[in-house]
Each structure stands twice: as C-alpha cells, then as structure tokens.
Amino acid sequence: MSMILAILCGAFGIIFWGVIFSLLYKGLDRKLVARMQDRYGPPVIQPFRDIEKLMLKQTIIPKNAIPWIFNGAAIFALASALALFVFIPFFYLGSLSGADCSVNPQLCTFSIFPGDLILVWYLMLMPSLAMVIGGFASGSPYATIGAQREMVLMASYEMPLAIASVAIAYVLKTFSLDAIFLTPVWGVSGVFGLIGFAILFLVMIFVIAPELSKVPYDAPEAETELAGGVLAEYSGRNLGFFYIADAVKAFALCSLIIAMFFPYGINFLVESPSLGLILDMLFFFLKVFLLMLFSLFFVRAAFARLRIEQASRLFLVHVLSISLLGLFLVVLDTIIHIDPMPILASLGVIL
C-alpha cells in the first residue's frame, strides 16, 4: 500500500516540477530569441503569466464545433503530455533510492514507471493527434487546413524518429528506456556504430523542431496565413491546456533524446551521493538547455517558415535517407565489429 502511495506521490511530484521547468524553458526560449533579435524580450516567467491569464478568460465553444470532442481534445493533449514525465528517466538516482543498483538497475533511474521507447513515442504523438482532432472538430476552415498540415508533417518526421529508435533497440536488444539509459550506445558499438549513432543523433536534433511544430516547421500553426491554424478556435482554458502541453512536450522530448543518446552524469566528481544527485540535476538541466539552444532557439531566431510541402520533402527525402545511412552503419557494425579503442589510442586519445 505504501509502495503505491509513494509511486503516486512521486508521479504527481515529478509532473508538478516537470510543468514548472517546462514553462521556465519556454520563457527562456522567448527571452533568448528576443536577445538574439536585439530586443529586450519578456521576463522568463512570462509563460506563467500567460497561463494564469488564459485560465481567467472566457472559454468559447464555437457554434459549428462538436463540444465534447472540442473540449476533450484539449484535456487529452495535456494529459498525454503530462503522462510522458513518469516514463522518461531523467538522471541517475544512484544509491539514494536505497536499492542495490547492480542487482536491480530499474530502481536507480528517475522514471517512476518502467516504460519503453514505443510507449513514449506514442505518448509523444498524442498531443499532436489531439490537436488534429480538435482542429477538425472546431468546424473552422482555418483549423481544418491547419489539422491537415499537421498530419502531413507528422507523417513526414515520424519515419526518421522510428529509425533512430529501432537502431538503438537493435544494438541493445531492448526497447526498455531504463536499460537504454543505463547502457549508453556509445560504449557498446564499434567504429561504424559510432559514426552511425552520431548521424542518428544529428537526425534526432533535426527532428525536434517539426515534432513540436516550431519555426521553421510551424506551417500547421501559421499565425499570419491561418489565424493560428489548428488552435484558431481555441480560447481561454482550452488554449491554456494546449499551451502547457506544448511546453511540456518540448521539455520531455529533449529529456528523452538525452536519455537515449547522452545519459551520462557527473556524480563521480564528488564523494557524497546527495551532492552527486544535485550535480547530476544541474548537469541534466544544462544538457536540456544546450539541446534546446541548438535545435530550437537558434533555428527559431534564424529561419523563416517553410511551406508545408518543402518541410515534408525535406524530411521524407533528405532526413530519411540520412537516417537510413545511419541505420545501415549501425547494422554493419554488428557484422564487422572494429574496436574503436586501438584506433583512438593510435590517434593519441587516452580514455
């Protein structure tokens, strides 16, 4: 009984803090992009004010909308985005969990429930899907066009994502996120594998922006042509739900990619486990920040919107072929395994 209570408390706690940090990262995004454009920018806590305001506003349900689908989509998007937090391992919990990590490694990571990659990818898809359903249900031509674009974009970027996940699962022989977190792929692959995973990591960084429908792949939410696109008819509380879901998804996606490709901590630098945990947390937030900086903030400040067919072609042709090359190298590595250590040593790199 107390076990269930502990899990519930842990889940609610991690969701609460997850939402707070997601919104802070969103504020950081707005501030930094403003600074890059030589503007002063809103304060970092601006997303909290936006949410507070949206919750106070009237929630209009348009006459042409189907009310239960229209409202349900907003709640569904938020719920599935929040559910992501309990499955993603954030950082190494180490001996603080009181478990022997060599016997039961699951207890040493920060995911509350043992999830796997497939489940998390489906949950990641849900907010976009809810937006599509809500867009169609709102009975507005703008929202319908936005929903169609969102679907086209989803169909384009999912393939490279799936290839990267499959490559990791192929090497580690598991989809379990805890196992992937505890066994970084870089340690178990040879020369070809290292090159392949580096390519797949770059592909994943590239896929972050369309997954979140951010500039330059924000054709579904185009404010200038589509009046807000899928969200055109949403107001008040429902819009606030989508707002939170969007911020949460950005944070969760970046944490997931870090868990897949760069789960290393820095707790070996200090002796005490609690200090190590704090260091690990700070290092984790730094990693998320860097990933967002290069995949979202710089891109948003530098590029204009792509047309939907340009974005779709980019992912279905170029990014997909690059990720297939990565997968090919990873599979080749399991056939011709060349140990990278002697090569690195001959180059003078000491590990």
Binding site for other proteins (CB under 8 A): 30, 34, 37-43, 46, 49-50, 52-53, 56-60, 142, 222-224, 226-228, 231-236, 239
- With the C-alpha atoms ordered 32, 35, 41, 43, is the resulting torsion angle positive or negative? positive
Question: C-beta of 126: minimal distance to other proteins in Å?
Answer: 23
Which is closer to other proteins, CB of 39 or CB of 318?
Answer: 39
User: Whose Cβ is closer to other proteins: residue 43's or residue 273's?
Assistant: 43
Distance of CA 40 to the CA centre of its chain: 28
Shortest distance, position 309 Cβ to other proteins, whole Å: 21
Q: Which is nearer to other proteins, 227 or 316 (CB)?
A: 227
- Looking at residue 270, the DSSP 8-state letter turns out to be S
Q: Which is nearer to other proteins, 49 or 307 (CB)?
A: 49
Residues 6 or more apart in contact with residue 36 via CB below 8 angstroms: 297, 298, 301
Closest approach, Cβ 51 to other proteins, in A, equals 8
C-beta of 146: minimal distance to other proteins in Å?
Answer: 11
**What whole-number distance in Å separates Cα of residue 252 and Cα of residue 28?**
16
Q: Is the CB of 160 or the CB of 240 nearer to other proteins?
A: 240
Which has the closest alpha carbon to 293: 179, 205, 181, 168? Answer: 205
Q: How far apart are CA 278 and CA 172, in angstroms?
A: 29
Closest C-alpha among 50, 51, 128, 44 to residue 84:
128
Smallest separation, CB 36 to other proteins (Å): 10
